[in-house]
Structure 1
Amino acid sequence: MKAAFVFAAFCFGFYAGAFEVDNFNCRFKPLQDVSDPLNKEVDRRIHDALEVAYKNGSREEKKVPEKGKKKEVPKALQRWFDREKASIEKSKLSPEKKESNRKSLERRFLNMLEGAEKTGLVGCDRGQVFEVLGAALAPAWMDSMESWASQQNFSKCNVKGRDSVYKDFSTLESPAISFAGLNSVIQVGDTKIGVDKLSHFMTEGLEYYRQFKEGATLEEVLKIGENEELGGYGIESTGIKSYGDLSANYGGFQFWSQLIEGGNPYLVCRNGKWIQNRKFDWKEYVHSGFDESVNCSTYKTPGMEKKVDNAVSELAKLNKFGPPLTCPMDIKKCQELKSRITNPIVFHAIVHPRCKTAGQGHTGSEGDSDAVR
């Protein structure tokens, strides 16, 4: 019983949502494209955040913390930090990867704390606009796009753990799925994705961008998500390393890189203020790499992988689908990813080995060095 409570506390922490999704079952459920309300919510957050920030920035009197006075940390943010830190310490990662994850967590904590305190915006400050919009679009501890979408009354696919392709996982194999259940799946354009991908896109994508601007190489940026998937965000809690998550992370990195830069940025400076230059569209970024029934996942043990393969095969037969009867369930979509993701460094990092070799008569996961054998 005590172990159960420990697992529950580990899985739930501050955020009571779920970690994983079942794109396999949802593949056979008809859904409506919800990109329109999702796009409108992003644009609303951008508009409202800028409006409020400029109002705050125009105030003559601003509260400035006394010199040397300790910053007050919001309780929700502190709980989030404590949970993530405990997850890192409990993980079985190497000392080097643990240290990397600790530093990444500390950077996020400080960035979010700074964003919570600095809500004002004056002029076209390039650094401050990321704090303002980061707090609006990528809050890791409250009101995320993921939690917003989960509460909306639009088309979703919900699968209970006992009915999912993970139904044969034991609590020891995947404590998060056992206690937190599964997230909803929605459709963006013609691609079905878990609502968790919205948070990965915004939050992890912003972290990638910040590290890149601070001098990290592309390989180092991609390694941030890799280490997280091997730790408390993946293997250690769910038993799953999701390449769909890694694809969403990188998609978000692309978005934040285009916020005020490039030939067609989202924001431009006019008359001393940032204004929105173009509307946001999720379909510009979402692709089959976000779909875990196409861009397969790696599992903590070969036994877990076999359980999923068997469940997917049964599901495919039940729905008179196939071949293939295992992941990837759409070879053509995998092959399209090769054309879409042209950077070989990125392709290698965010596409699962099965998807890379789809159509070549190979369905095994050899070559994925993270699989625990």
Structure 2
Amino acid sequence: MKKATIATVYSASNADTVGNANRIKRYQILASHYNLIIFTNHPEFIKSKVNAKVVAVKKWKIPFLSVYLFWLKIGIALLFTKYDLLFLVISDAPISFFNFKSPFLCHIQSAHSILGLNEKRSKSFLSKKISLLYLNGVKKADHSLAISKQLVDYFVSRKVDEDKISYLPHGVDFNKFKLADQCENINRDDKFRLIYTGWVCEIRGLNLMLEGLKELVSEKKDIQLLIIGAEEIYQKKIKNWSLENKIQDNIKVIGRIDHDEIPGYINESNVCLSFLEDIPSYHLSPPQKLFEYFAMGKPVVANDLPTHSQYIKDGFNGYIIKDLDVNLFKDAIYKLYNQKERLGKMSKKIREDASQYDVQKVELELLSKVEELICRQN
């Protein structure tokens, strides 16, 4: 029987960010069951990751216009491409306006493109008009899959048909993200390590982590902080800060690395960190790293937002701190530091509880919806 063909898009400023790893996994799943065509501005990167037909689309660096020209080029290409399903993430949803012949499945991993990450910018007249482009793109979808129930509720409140949107959580590769005693080359020294992975910036708790570390190290010299994913400007900033505060031996900063390397670093750590500024968009989208931490049996310290607190149970798989406050951060870390001997037992329970996010289970739901839409079309 002939395989159906799915058309999709991979666009990114930087191809290899940790945050894009989940998108790549989705494409790998689709490519293993269907003929997949990927339009992208990172063709060589995609060819190295996904077994699919890759179509290179140049993304010009023209302020403001680049993304719209990119959409236009792909939209025109779609008019001359034969496919059975269009699969897009929300940040490329406006491309669906060029889709006149096949079902459209939208994957919603955040509402950043609609709500923005800057309050003033998100309230501007132009930003509101641009937001409508993304929202109307979602409304054109035959179905949308959102990574949180908060996102489902938000889009239903924005007049997306509730029968055309459903919850599909983040998926984690449990064969890659596994317990420390199942991995090789684990650091067995006596350091107590904290780790943060992902986008490094002020609205992701950078200042809290640095100031908190300074306070912790003043009392416990064996505590270290590992930050992974920092752009060069933040690598320099953190290095200079650590030298000024004379704690350079207690902090290590690494830039962007391949997502496959992340588990090794998490395994060397005792406690994982996730912090988000209290802005509307972050109330809707749980970070992917949260579930990767859990899959590896690690307790997580995070601040009190719905996208953290609904997953973290105090004393079971981490601690929630009410505010981005240094003293609250210290208290949470000390609670885990003082029960180091229990962390091994906690790990197995944390991983077991996180099994619902195993990508193999999520994959079945994704493929079921894809097949339903393709069959409906036929």
TM-score (norm. length: structure 2): 0.26
Q: Which has the higher strand share?
A: 2
